[in-house]
């Protein structure tokens, strides 16, 4: 998994010295000026750029691209429109670079160069531009073709990309960070995209153990018998309908001495049929993405170890498969969670919050300074924000503000929803402490969070619902069809700036 990763490096080679298959140059709308090194490059190539721009009326509109065949040291020059300069930002930059790199790859280009100075305005630092360009290249050029045997298009890969600069800076830290994050997103996507008959609970548990070994992380995997012994009645019940038995994987990273850890909990349902409340077609498709929270969490802690971030982090991932069997849990059952709270089951397709109940209360028992959970929890997230952003809910304003800052830097969009006490009434049960859904069906994202709040004690807590953003139906910009790696970039930025 995560194979054929492109090599990205920064070089001080001038345009006149570059020998490559293609060079990518950005232009702002109605500011198509050739000056300095670019003008010299144009003169040395018989004014091919200026002539083409004039004749073809290239305007630099956002999303506009033109290829010029040169066939000299540089075979092709790609002109990329960036829109109006005063509206240019890192999001436009990232999508432009990613989209252009895909087009070059699909044209069988294996190496190309990017002129850094043409992809930034006066507000952008070189270091930030290099970091964003590099991450965007890793994300945009990702492809999952492990199970393709005949499609030759899936064998096209870019091998090397140079970012051209006249700066004396090394950009070593930016490239290291971008590589670590890009690798983590790719691995998260791989795990989500892997078919559920392969990526079952045993497979994921083994994957976690191998990751921990390679990253020098402490790893503990609890099996079904141990889960029962720990009285995790919710995880046990959800998982017992499958031949792929439930597990609980815990990873620990120590980078800050004796400081209290942050706890990260990731939902890991390897496939969700909905149980006896069976999902109809086509909603049952792609339910392998229900392990997206766990997949993200384990790779987030891997990045922390790679970058040696000065924090202590514990990752808790409950792993199970929600299937139908004679022993499967059913509506009207009452389950007891790790912290003793009893739960009446009203819908077996609201299973994610059940396994998180045990995982969150287990994490709370470790007395962390804060708890964050990542879960593809609700389809209602589509109603709230569509596929564009991720809803979040928190009990702590400081955590929320930290995540909002991380959102701006990582370019993963989030939006905070309220957790008003009136929502608690919707999950009151007549026969148990609480029930796992509201029977009215309103405010699905918030009701899911209202349920989870019962399992974090008074510890500052933040809930990230990637129910929609975990999967992409489009191949555009930094997105590719399939798993997105949602929340990896967001949480790495969040933890990077923890102090």
Task: Summarize pLDDT for 190-234 with one digit per residue, the tens.
Answer: 999 999 999 999 999 999 999 999 999 999 999 999 999 999 999
Domain 7-168 has CATH 3.40.50.620: no
Under the banding of pLDDT at 50, 70 and 90, the label for residue 357 is very high
- The predicted pLDDT at position 73 comes to 87
Catalytic site residue from 75, 156, 176, 279: 279
- The predicted pLDDT at position 4 comes to 56
Q: What is the mean pLDDT of residues 333-342?
A: 98
- The predicted pLDDT at position 199 comes to 98
Q: What is the mean pLDDT of residues 414-430?
A: 97
Pairing of strands 160-164, 247-254: unpaired
Under the banding of pLDDT at 50, 70 and 90, the label for residue 13 is confident
Task: Summarize pLDDT for 248-273 with one digit per residue, the tens.
Answer: 999 999 999 999 999 999 999 999 99
Q: Is 319:291 a contact under the CB 8 Å cutoff?
A: yes
- Does position 30 have pLDDT exceeding 80, yes or no? no
- The predicted pLDDT at position 153 comes to 67
Tokens at residue 96, please? Answer: 């432009």
- Does position 327 have pLDDT exceeding 90, yes or no? yes
Residue 61 CA, chain-centre distance (Å), reads 29
Torsion of CA 174, 81, 408, 6, to 10 degrees: -40
| Helix, strand, coil tally for the chain in percent (to 5) | 40, 20, 40
Q: What are phi and psi of 10, to 5 degrees?
A: -105, 135
- The predicted pLDDT at position 54 comes to 84
- In angstroms, the CA 186 to CA 75 distance is 30
Catalytic site residue from 187, 288, 353, 453: 353
From the candidate CATH numbers 1.20.5.440, 3.40.630.10, 1.10.630.10, 3.40.50.800, the one assigned to the domain spanning 181-496: 3.40.630.10
Task: Summarize pLDDT for 450-491 with one digit per residue, the tens.
Answer: 999 999 999 999 999 999 999 999 999 999 999 999 999 999
- In angstroms, the CA 53 to CA 38 distance is 13
Residue 353 catalytic? yes
* Helix, strand or coil, per DSSP, at residue 399: helix
Q: Is 286:356 a contact under the CB 8 Å cutoff?
A: no
The residues spanned by each domain of the chain are 7-168, 181-496
Higher pLDDT among residues 35 and 134, named by residue: 134
């Amino acid at each position: 998994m995560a194979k054929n990763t492109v090599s990205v490096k920064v070089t001080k080679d001038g345009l006149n010295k570059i020998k490559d298959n293609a060079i990518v140059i950005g232009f702002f709308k109605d500011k198509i000026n050739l000056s300095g090194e670019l003008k010299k490059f144009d003169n040395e190539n018989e004014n091919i750029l200026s002539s083409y721009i004039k004749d073809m009326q290239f305007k630099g509109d956002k999303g506009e691209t033109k290829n010029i065949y040169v066939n000299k040291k540089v075979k092709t020059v790609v002109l990329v429109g960036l829109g109006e300069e005063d509206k240019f930002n890192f999001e436009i930059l990232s999508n432009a670079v990613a989209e252009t790199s895909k087009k070059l790859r699909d044209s069988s280009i294996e190496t190309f160069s990017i002129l850094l100075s043409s992809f930034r305005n006066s507000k952008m630092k070189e270091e930030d531009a290099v970091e964003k360009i590099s991450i965007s290249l890793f994300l945009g050029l990702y492809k999952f073709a492990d199970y393709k045997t005949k499609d030759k298009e899936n064998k096209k890969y870019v091998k090397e990309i140079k970012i051209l600069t006249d700066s004396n800076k090394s950009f070593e830290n930016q490239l290291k960070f971008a590589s670590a994050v890009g690798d983590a997103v790719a691995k998260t996507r791989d795990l989500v995209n892997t078919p559920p008959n392969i990526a079952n609970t045993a497979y994921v548990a083994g994957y976690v153990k191998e990751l921990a070994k390679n990253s020098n992380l402490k790893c503990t995997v609890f099996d079904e018998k141990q889960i029962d012994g720990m009285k995790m009645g919710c995880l046990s019940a959800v998982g017992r309908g499958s031949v792929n038995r439930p597990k609980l994987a815990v990873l620990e990273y120590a980078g800050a001495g004796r400081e209290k850890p942050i706890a990260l909990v990731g939902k890991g349902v390897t496939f969700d049929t909905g149980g006896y409340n069976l999902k109809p077609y086509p909603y049952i498709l792609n339910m392998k993405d229900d392990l997206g929270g766990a997949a993200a969490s384990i790779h987030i802690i891997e990045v922390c170890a790679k970058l040696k971030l000065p924090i202590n982090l514990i990752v808790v991932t409950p792993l199970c498969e929600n299937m139908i069997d004679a022993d499967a849990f059913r509506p009207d059952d009452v389950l007891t969670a790790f912290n003793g709270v009893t739960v009446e089951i009203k819908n077996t397709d609201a299973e994610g919050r059940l396994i998180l109940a045990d995982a969150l209360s287990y994490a709370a028992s470790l007395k962390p300074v804060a708890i964050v959970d990542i879960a593809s929890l609700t389809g209602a997230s589509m109603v709230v924000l569509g596929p564009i952003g991720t809803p979040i809910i928190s009990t702590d304003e400081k955590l929320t503000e930290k995540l909002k800052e991380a959102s701006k830097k990582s370019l993963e969009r989030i939006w905070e929803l309220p957790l008003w006490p009136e929502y608690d009434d919707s999950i009151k049960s007549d026969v148990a402490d609480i029930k796992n859904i509201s029977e009215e069906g309103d405010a699905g994202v918030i009701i899911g969070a209202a349920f989870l709040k019962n399992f974090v004690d008074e510890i500052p807590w933040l809930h990230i619902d990637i129910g929609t953003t975990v999967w992409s139906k489009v191949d555009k910009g930094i997105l590719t069809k399939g798993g997105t790696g949602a929340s990896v970039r967001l949480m790495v930025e969040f933890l990077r700036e923890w102090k």
